[in-house]
Amino acid sequence: MTEKKERTTVEILTGANIHIVADDWRTYVDGGDQHFIVSQQNLVWPHLTIKDKDLLGLPMTEGDDLQLQVTEIADPEPALRPAKPKIVRPPAHFTSEVFRFIYNKKTFDRVFAPQIQDLRDEHAAALADKHVHLARWIAVRETARLLFMMKAHALVSIIKTFVQLWKIH
């Protein structure tokens, strides 16, 4: 008698008339004409867990359709369910796009991009520490600082341009 491990996909119709497609891991003991299931686990991740202890030791002939007897469908605690991934834009995304449009590449790369990167690093660090409110505050504060920086940079650029024009004439 040899032991075989097999993974298949099975379709299960539960008592509540719910149709489930599940990954099915089984360990067989091959005994000639008959196979004996020595262990079995059905997992429908992440919402349902099927406990089918009754199937252990159930004799079955090769080629037979397996009639699964689902004894219990357990719904895990909502807190244990993995949260649905939510994709959001990084802080200062819109501001960054506006700056990229207004300024030339050199100015954006040297002046604004490092500041935006600092903002995002700080924001990510706060989120990693589960300080959601602090992260939001950092996003607001640093975006305001960026706007101030834009104002200061624009003022200096205007003065510089006037000085250069005055020098030419």
Partner 1 sequence: MQFPTKTEMLILGLLAGGEKYGLQLVKDSGGKLKRGTIYVLLDRLEDKGFITSKTPEPGSARRLYTIHGSGVRALRAQEVFEHGLPAIGAMA
Residue choice 102, 132, 156, 158 for contact with partner 1 (CB under 8 A): 156
Residue of the chain from 6, 54, 97, 109 that contacts partner 1 (CB under 8 A): 109
> Which positions from 89 to 108 touch partner 1 by CB under 8 A, shown as an x/- string?
------------------x-
Compare residues 131 and 151 and give the one whose CB is closer to partner 1: 151
Strands 19-31, 34-44: pairing kind: antiparallel
CA distances (Å), 61 to each of 25, 58, 109, in order? 18, 10, 70
What does the block give as tokens for 61? Answer: 């002939």
Rounding to the nearest 10 degrees, give the CA dihedral for residues 160, 161, 162, 164. 90
- Is 118 near partner 1 (CB under 8 A)? yes
CA atoms within 13 A on the CB side of 25: 6
Nearer of residues 45 and 162 to partner 1, judged by Cβ = 162
Residue 3 or 109 with smaller CB distance to partner 1: 109
- How far, in whole angstroms, is CA 126 from its chain's centroid? 19
Using CB under 8 A as the criterion, which residues of the chain lie in contact with partner 1 when the complex forms?
107, 109-118, 121, 145, 148-149, 152-153, 156
